[in-house]
Amino acid sequence: MKKIKVGVAGYGVIGQRLADAVALQGDMELVGVADLAPTLSIRALKEKGMPYNLFLVDMNRKPEFEGLEIPIAGSFEDLVDQVDIMLDSSPGGVGVKNKELYASKGVKAIFQGGEKNSVADVFFHGYANYEQGVDQDYLKLTSCNTTGLIRAVDCLDRNCGGVEKVAITIIRRVADPGDYHRGLTNALQVDKAPSHQAVDLMTIMPHVEATGVLVHTPVTHGHIITVLATGKKKITKEMALEAFKKHPRIRVVKIDDGFQGNASFFRYARDLGNTRGDMYEIGLWEDCIVESGNDIMFAINIPQESVTIPETMDAVRAATGMQQTREDGTAATNKYLNCQCR
């Protein structure tokens, strides 16, 4: 079996996780990762024995790496020359510049949510519009919140008779763990409505009317989203719960079992032994699914650092034509990442 050769641009919060996920895919080969500076992530990579080849975005900085005895496999261009597809997790705005190199080399690319939609042929989600991404050159993932939100709404839409509209409230972590650039805060901040997640959902699922409010909170481990969904026919709690429990990337939990909030999921992932405390599934509280007239309301937890990783693997499968359908593509990703109904 010929493996798809994959490179990762940017070895930061997302890039580390993309590299690890590609390495787990039995039908993909991680050629290497590229970065600009000897960050803490790169230093940790070296201390772990350099499991991945490292390529430099700026070869003028090679002496910095050599001084730290960090081995270099080549330039960023060398990496692009060796792959079938690049996973670009560079800072927002850098990916669109990298696209010029990818295009000149005839290499496909997947971009993360920080880039503008115009960078790609398709704004992509593994479950909601997989087939639209098949054999396309450039795909862009949704943001972490949008990725988890669409998983849940798409699940109801496909299994409970269709969804007409949703209203969401996003309680958003202010920064990733270890970040300092946002400052030390003790306040909540509200964005203007509708939030971009609602707009993005409608872009990928145009048959669903969506609106939403976003509140920034001074926490780092995960977002929480409440969703009020109106079905084309009444969606009962029993119908919703049955659908959610069958979804490989939704972890249904109970408050009574100890899942009191975002920190509970992070601690549980660490106790499971998951690398970095990551969890690929969104968490969904069974205790918080309620019927409101003809609507259904529920709450989900979004592990922001890792939730987009499975959908990125789906994107590789779609763009390279490895699997032609959402069923086959997502099933292959789930198998290698050990995502399963719980």
Active site residue 144: yes
Whose tokens are 């922001």? That residue is 304
Among 19, 70, 7, 25, which residue's Cα sits nearest to residue 314?
25
Identify the CA nearest to 177 among candidates 322, 305, 89: 305
Question: In b/e form, how buried is each residue of 17-56, taking b as 16+ CB within 10 angstroms?
Answer: bbbbbbebbeebbbbbbbbbebeebbeebeeeeeebbbbb
Kindly give the residue spans of alpha helices, DSSP state H, lying in 205-337: 237-246, 262-271, 309-319, 326-337
Rounded to whole angstroms, what are the CA distances from 325 to 55, 162, 243? 33, 20, 20
Q: E-assigned strands of the chain?
A: 4-9, 28-35, 54-56, 74-75, 85-88, 108-111, 122-124, 138-141, 163-173, 189-190, 209-217, 223-231, 250-253, 282-285, 290-292, 295-302
Q: Is 243 helix (H, G, I), strand (E, B) or coil?
A: helix
The active-site residue, picked from 144, 155, 160, 339, is 144
- What is the helix (H) or strand (E) element at residue 194, kind and residue range? none
- Cα 222–Cα 190–Cα 296 angle in degrees, nearest 5: 65
CA dihedral 101, 304, 299, 269 (to 10 degrees): 130
Spatial distance between the Cα atoms of 6 and 60, rounded to a whole number of angstroms: 25
Q: Which residues are designated catalytic?
A: 144
